[in-house]
Amino acid sequence: MPNLYIISGCNGAGKTTASYAMFPEMLDCKEFINADEIAKGLSPFQPETVAIDAGRIMLMRMNEMLRMKEDFAIETTLATKSYANFIRRAQNEGYFVTLIYFWLESPELAIRRVEQRVRFGGHHVPDEVVLRRYYAGMRNLFSMFIPIADYWILIDNSTDPFQMIAEGNRTQVQDIQDEEIFYYLKNV
């Protein structure tokens, strides 16, 4: 059964960093599709100018991976509902979908992390966009994405090392390590 990994969380949550560490060795997943990385490849000094093109390329590659029945991972903030239909389609084509959500304790921390990333040559995201995506992603996590994921895990990436919050599947929460954060996220 092929695997689709959804790497999610707000801007600055550490999704890309974790993905490069996790996928090749730990999960034997060689394909990581990330619109930000695609944009950087298209226009290294101004990736924001090719964001729409990068998004189109990402969608084409996702569809290609589905056709090939290969394991792959995608990155998203979950701020939009656009991936829900794609996840269902992947499941209908035999994919097992794992959702990994990296949470940060505040939008201010997310903004600081993005600022730090920019200082080290990473891409900028305006503060108001970080703030909007921070809350929209958490709302969509429980209302739309956890109910369709075959397996999900929530991680608090506010500190080093990260802490697991909870894990479960479509029908049940299997383990809650931090009830306070879990119920906060669930009720945003």
Cα–Cα distances in Å, from 84 out to 21, 66, 89? 26, 15, 9
Domain chopping of the chain, boundaries:
3-186
Dist CA 77 CA 56 (whole Å) = 17
Q: Which of 128, 123, 126 is nearest to 75 (CA)?
A: 123
> Please, what sign has the CA dihedral across residues 94, 57, 85, 150?
positive
- pLDDT higher than 70, residue 85: yes
Residue 23 binned pLDDT confidence (cut-offs 50, 70, 90): low
Q: 3-186 adopts what CATH topology?
A: Rossmann fold (3.40.50)
Q: What digits encode the pLDDT tens for the residues 101-135? A: 999 999 999 999 999 988 888 778 889 999 999 99
Contact 54, 38 (CB under 8 A): yes
Contact 116, 21 (CB under 8 A): no
